[in-house]
Amino acid sequence: MIAIIDYGAGNIQSVSKALKHIGCDCFITNKKDEILSADGAVLPGVGSFGDTVDSLNKYGIKEAVIEFINSGKPFLGICLGLQLLFPGSEESEGAEGLGVFDGTITKIPNGDGLKIPHMGWNSLKITKDSRLFKGIEENPYVYFVHSYFLNAADKSIVAAQTEYGVTIDAAVEKGNVFATQFHPEKSGNTGLRILKNFVDIVGG
């Protein structure tokens, strides 16, 4: 059973619908004990970094997310859920992320006439042998919506990158922790395969 972590915002229903579409047993919750008892957890996210940190604190589940990750059970962050794995973001000075990994979250530069946010389909370069991208074709197209991007300090955790004026670390994977800057639940068959890979990891 996979817990979809609900902090009062985010793309919760679309993630739930996608997981159920591929036959996954999942439930939406903001209760610490339910999160910790799940076999896997997904943290979706849209909106601002600071507001989301405030919401996680308000619901009393920020520490539960950290505890879940430390338990070794599979965890998937989506979009802002990826950014929250890092210490902070230029978007919200002073807001403290989960600090699972080290790296910077900064605004995508708008040079060369690029529109911000980075919104729509873009191709990925898969950069490591990844369980999350098992069976995925080379340079798949996935769906992005974001204005801030990750530059991971440890490139060995980066599973995929994309280009949008700068090189964006678009997915990370280390041990039981997986995260994507793009939205797999909005990325067609490729995204569904990525979600199915995560469900298979949860199932062992």
What pLDDT, on a 0 to 100 scale, did the predictor assign at position 11? 77
What residues make up the domain containing 156?
A: 2-203
CA separation for the pair 176, 34 (Å, rounded):
19
DSSP class of residue 130 equals -
Out of 26, 146, 173, 185, the active site residue is: 185
In this structure, are residues 7 and 56 in contact, taking their beta carbons and an 8 Å threshold? yes
55-88 tens-digit pLDDT: 999 999 999 999 999 999 999 999 999 999 999 9
For residue 50, is pLDDT > 80?
yes
For residue 204, is pLDDT > 80?
no
What pLDDT, on a 0 to 100 scale, did the predictor assign at position 136? 97
CATH of the domain at 105: 3.40.50.880
Other CB atoms within 10 Å distance of the CB of residue 48: 17
- Count of domains observed in the chain: 1
Out of 118, 146, 173, 183, the active site residue is: 183
For residue 34, is pLDDT > 80?
yes
99-154 tens-digit pLDDT: 999 999 999 998 778 999 999 999 999 999 999 999 999 999 999 999 999 999 99
What pLDDT, on a 0 to 100 scale, did the predictor assign at position 113? 83
183 is an active site residue: yes
Out of 26, 79, 118, 173, the active site residue is: 79
CA separation for the pair 111, 94 (Å, rounded):
27
24 is an active site residue: no
Pick 95 or 7 by higher pLDDT.
95
For residue 47, is pLDDT > 90?
no
H or E segment and range at residue 20: helix 12-21
Give Rg (Cα) of the chain: 15
Q: What is the mean pLDDT of the chain?
A: 96
In this structure, are residues 83 and 187 in contact, taking their beta carbons and an 8 Å threshold? no
Collapse the DSSP code of 50 into the 3-class scheme (helix H, G, I; strand E, B; otherwise coil) and give the result. helix
H or E segment and range at residue 66: helix 62-71
What pLDDT, on a 0 to 100 scale, did the predictor assign at position 75? 98
Phi, psi of 198 (to 5 degrees): -65, -45
Tell me: cis bond preceding 117? Omega within 30 of 0 counts: yes
What pLDDT, on a 0 to 100 scale, did the predictor assign at position 10? 66
